[in-house]
Amino acid sequence: MAQEIQQAVAKAEKVVKGAGTGYGADAIQVLEGLEAVRKRPGMYIGSTDARGLHHLMWEVADNSVDEAMAGHCDTITVTIHKDGWITNVDNGRGIPVGEHAKMRKSALEVVMTVLHAGGKFGGSGYQVAGGLHGVGVSVVNALSERLIVEVRRDGGIYQQEYKRGKPVAKVKRIGDIDPSDPYQHGTKTKWLADREIFGDADYLFETVAQRFRETCYLTKGLRIRLIDERSDREVSFYFEGGIVSFVRHLNRNRVVLYPRPFYVQRQVNAYNVEVSLQYNDSYGESVHSFANNINTVDGGTHVSGFRSALTRILNEYARKTGILKEKDANLSGEDVREGLTAIISVKLPDAQFEGQTKGKLGNADMAGAVQTSVAEALAAFLEENPSAGKRIIDKCLTAARAREAARNARELVQRKGALDSLTLPGKLADCSERDPAKSELYIVEGDSAGGSAKQGRDRRFQAILPLRGKILNVEKARLDKMLQNNEIRTLVTAMGTGIGETFDIGKLRYHRVIIMTDADQDGGHIRTLLLTFFFRHLEQIIRDGNLYIAQPPLYRVQIGKEKHWVYDDAAKDALLQKSAAAGGKEPELQRYKGLGEMNPDQLWETTMDPQARTILQVTLEDAVSADQTFDMLMGNAVPPRYRFIQTHAKEVVNLDV
Ligand code: 0RA
């Protein structure tokens, strides 16, 4: 933040010098800056839906987190008020309020009203381009109907208010702080996001809590309190152990191979490197990486450095201890990542974020910094914890053998052509369209529903694949086991992508893969199994936005001659109430439990017709929470499962075909 202020002041100074007309010209420039934000908010915060609304929260909180990382702040309190206002309070040094000689206004006003350098444009949306965080709090100000900032420092309380980014008055000292008041310094920002920009998008407690939990794991010793006055909920996050606590948390429902996670923290020149890891007895990998507290979902140089250190050190250790014999091949990268839970967190100046979604760290020197740090510390850890070392290597060896078995199994089925798209499964009713971009695959539970779907579909672009019974619980099975399962093989063959090492998203035969299951418990379970399978083994299909969930209606309500399809209980109650209020005929209510209860025409009309249906796109906005959610889902009953669907599915209405 200090850096940001300097940048902002320097930029504004240039404007003044360049224009040569002093303060007036500068003021105009400032207004133009924030007008640009209001004109094209998407360029600064990605979007103007709920995600963008939350971005405002992250932007303000991140400034406070920076103050905490600099060692000046240990508590942040965020309140979601009933009337749409948000308050963010920190106990940092307080934004400087003194007048800047050349700007002729308070530094506080500069911070709040000058669009900071550092936000990069283009691409798919908001990205952090450098410095320690986002686009600057002036963007939040520009996109708020009203914003009030209050600074405590030097014994005084200073305040300024803005409307849509424009100051209502100068910064004022509005009072003295009682010397006995424990709150002597800090910054309080209170804002009301502009409804003209964000419509009726709303804050989600779970989303905010999840993000703040993550922030606290990544910033040892920081406490964040989140208060939601709408529902009277309150949570407080504080993790003494930082990323070690994070690893323990991710492993909390798993059986770990040894009690204490490995941890290293090193400063390599300007780079700060922190890594923690712990193995568990599952087959999955949950490695999450961060750069300047930003989740790098596509990895990058820090992850490459980590991986090569891990593979090299474990191989060296396995040979040295004689667990791996001379004749044995080296453990592969995949072998050493089975059952691995790890957090890689780096902090650096001028972070370069690359790739289409800017989820990949690009700074080349970081690979070496992480590699050296992890290699040295991990070698020492294994020396000091030989029983942990032995368990880890045994686990890797088992993984290596299983992978060999899987390779053999796959080669066998591939030779038979079972995963080859040239020999499509007999159960698949394919569409006539050959362009994947225009084709849809409905995965349907059960033969009878499959029959209705086949008759009801538009065969030009809709293919139907009925699946029988429950697919295997893939969370608990390796790829080789799964490929023995007929339903899985059929599904992979129909999609055409292959799986595992041979996966190729370019071969996906349908750009919409739609899961259509009954609206009952069994249907929910099958949907969860399928989602888990996609998440663990075909994640790219979700990432690319190709996976959807069909929404069959729950009820048919007939009021006189009018027919209504109703998709949830709230809508049903509303409709019945409306009908009762209007008097007239008693409504007839029919509940649909299964897809099979609808005839083909009804299925088309309610669930499959692109002009009328609603389908939910499955997204993975946050790999960390998705990872946890899947663990939770597989061990739990229905309510948490439902939450997953709600949180990670976004509505897509009336797609054009
Ligand atoms: C620059 C300098 C100083 C504090 C801050 C920025 C600061 C910014 C924010 C934003 C939210 N909370 C914040 N807290 C502090 C301190 C300069 C000094 O007192 O020496």
Q: In this structure, are 218 and 263 located in the same domain?
A: no
Instruction: Indicate which CATH number applies to the domain containing 275.
Output: 3.30.230.10
Decide if 633 is inside a domain: no
Longest dimension (CA), the chain: 86
Q: What pLDDT score was predicted for residue 623?
A: 57
Pairing of strands 75-80, 353-354: unpaired
Look up 518 and say whether it is catalytic.
yes
Task: Please tell me whether residues 249 and 395 are part of one structural domain.
Answer: yes
Residue of 202, 328, 411, 520 marked active site: 520
The pLDDT assigned to 360 comes to 96
Domain holding 431, by residue range, is 421-552+617-628
Query: 39 to each of 32, 36, 56, 164, 416, how far by Cα in Å?
Result: 10, 5, 16, 12, 59
- Torsion of the alpha carbons at 535, 538, 544 and 548, rounded to the nearest 10: -60
Same domain, 45 and 194: yes
* pLDDT, tens digit (0-9, with 9 covering 90-100), for 46-99: 899 999 999 999 999 999 999 998 899 999 999 999 999 999 999 999 999 998
Gap from CA of 292 to ligand 1 centroid (Å):
18
Residue ranges, the chain, pLDDT below 70:
1-32, 116-134, 410-422, 469-477, 620-657
Cα–Cα distance for residue pair 251/350, rounded to 1 Å: 32
Structure confidence at residue 622 (pLDDT): 53
What is the distance between the alpha carbons of residues 584 and 112, in angstroms, rounded to a whole number?
59
CATH of the domain at 105: 3.30.565.10
Query: Which of 559, 564, 553, 547 has the alpha carbon at shortest distance from 649?
Result: 547
Q: What is the pLDDT of residue 166?
A: 96
Tell how far the Cα of 1 is from the centroid of ligand 1, in angstroms.
7
Catalytic residue among 214, 433, 440, 518: 518
Ligand 1 contact via 95 beta carbon (within 6 Å): yes
- 381-406 pLDDT per residue, tens: 999 999 999 999 999 999 999 888 87
Q: Is 480 a catalytic residue?
A: no
**Shared domain check, 257 and 216:** no
Same domain for 227 and 249: no
- The whole-model pTM stands at 0.68
Decide which of 179, 212, 237 is a domain's last residue.
237
Beta-bridge partners for 77: 89, 225
Q: Say how many C-beta atoms besides its own lie within 10 A of residue 225's C-beta.
A: 16
